[in-house]
Structure 1
Amino acid sequence: MNRILITGAAGAVGTLIRPRLARAGRVLRLLDVAELQPAAGEEVVRASVTDLAAMERACAGADAVIHLGGISLEAPWQDILDVNINGTYTVFEAARRAGVSRVVYASSNHAVGYHTPDEYPLTAATLPLPDTYYGVSKAAGEALGALYHHRYGLDVICVRIMTCFAEPPNPRALSTWLSPDDCARLLEACLAFPEPGYRIVYGVSPNTRGGWVSLDEARALGYRPTDDAEVHAADVLAEHGDPAADDPVFAHLGGQFTFPELDADRL
């Protein structure tokens, strides 16, 4: 994969993975509505994922698309519809028109956020149970990926990303953390695996306190994670305290995304 288009490249995950995906002879084409300063081996396209013509131009000559672009938290329905759902359709359609053979789609654990601990570990076969409009958009993106694979032959891998930060930000993340290095390892596996077809995998590191989701599908692609949130546990618990076992943040996979603060009439 010599030229990879990354949408949402200015976002949190995009910023973390750019240096980790850099390779000699590889061009990272970065697309975002925000201004970006390219490093060596990078190209910048300033455009929205909702602009089909701009997306088609950005896809031209690309070997693969890593689609990170969109609203990354809960938002009013119209915003989610415009950017996350229509934007994801636009990315798939532009890739199809430009002849791109593979799309790696950044889905989310929030596509299955209302599943409960008695169902763990969740697998690729776990049915969507979104916790928010944001989660609905990720389930819709997975469905679009299935359509574009089965109808048009695109290879599509949907990565249900858990908690990808430089370090675990809170006690819940000691179970859900995806380290930036492991994120890059997973994306490299998604890019390299021959003829993956359509797949759903979970993006998480092999944390000592994990086991909420299965890593079997990701490992089948060649993902070899090495990091563990436990090395950060003492610092995280010193800052936030040790949560009670019945803390509602642990009642569903989606954590605080299931809380009433995100009800529609409060957005």
Structure 2
Amino acid sequence: MSSAENAPASQAVPAAAGPAPRVRVAIVDDDALVRAGLRMILGGDPGIVVVGEAGDGHDGLDLVDRERPDVVLMDIRMPRLDGLVATRRLGERGASTRVIVLTTFDTDEMVLTALRHGAAGFLLKDTPPEDLVQAVRRVARGEPMLSPSVTAQLIAAVAQPPDAREGSARERLARLTDREREVAVAVARGLSNAEIARELYMGVATVKTHVGHLFAKLEVANRVQIARCVHDAGLV
């Protein structure tokens, strides 16, 4: 018998642990460019693998049934079936897949609805890439994940009743010209400056000027806050 076989159990060399399984992620968004960007961001992390993409909620549900991903990045506004309803249906099916709702804007009602439907996370699409990767990892581990701005929105929602938010938003929007209000509503719909220019028949430079006026008159720092003001006022 060899000396290795005679060695005490306490001296046995433990078997080498294999690499941790990669987090399997599905992307559900109707914008092909957004999907490509998310795939590129997540694909750069060796611990994550994108197992599929879908362009609407119906196809997203089929994708989850087929691939059983750990995490789904779910857009809200999509044709045929939106992300909130798709998230609710996943919960009703008892799916183990965890959902991170990803959107261009956040309103209190939308955040609360997503969480009620079973979403494990809620992030804005302008979330930095490294934060997005960390969010996917955390949600895969079973931890909830809300962006700092969403957390602040929820705290504000508890502190301020809906009627007060609507009144405050309408008061700020009353400072705008008719054209500025049209641009604000377009921003709240998620349109880019170029899309707003085409829809409202103005130059992109003019749109940028109007957006600058919105920042000053509405006392906001970014387009997400413009969208929130418009939504609180009930204009979208």
TM-score (norm 2): 0.48
Q: Which has the higher contact order (CA 8 A, sep 6+)?
A: 1
Structure with more helix by fraction: 2
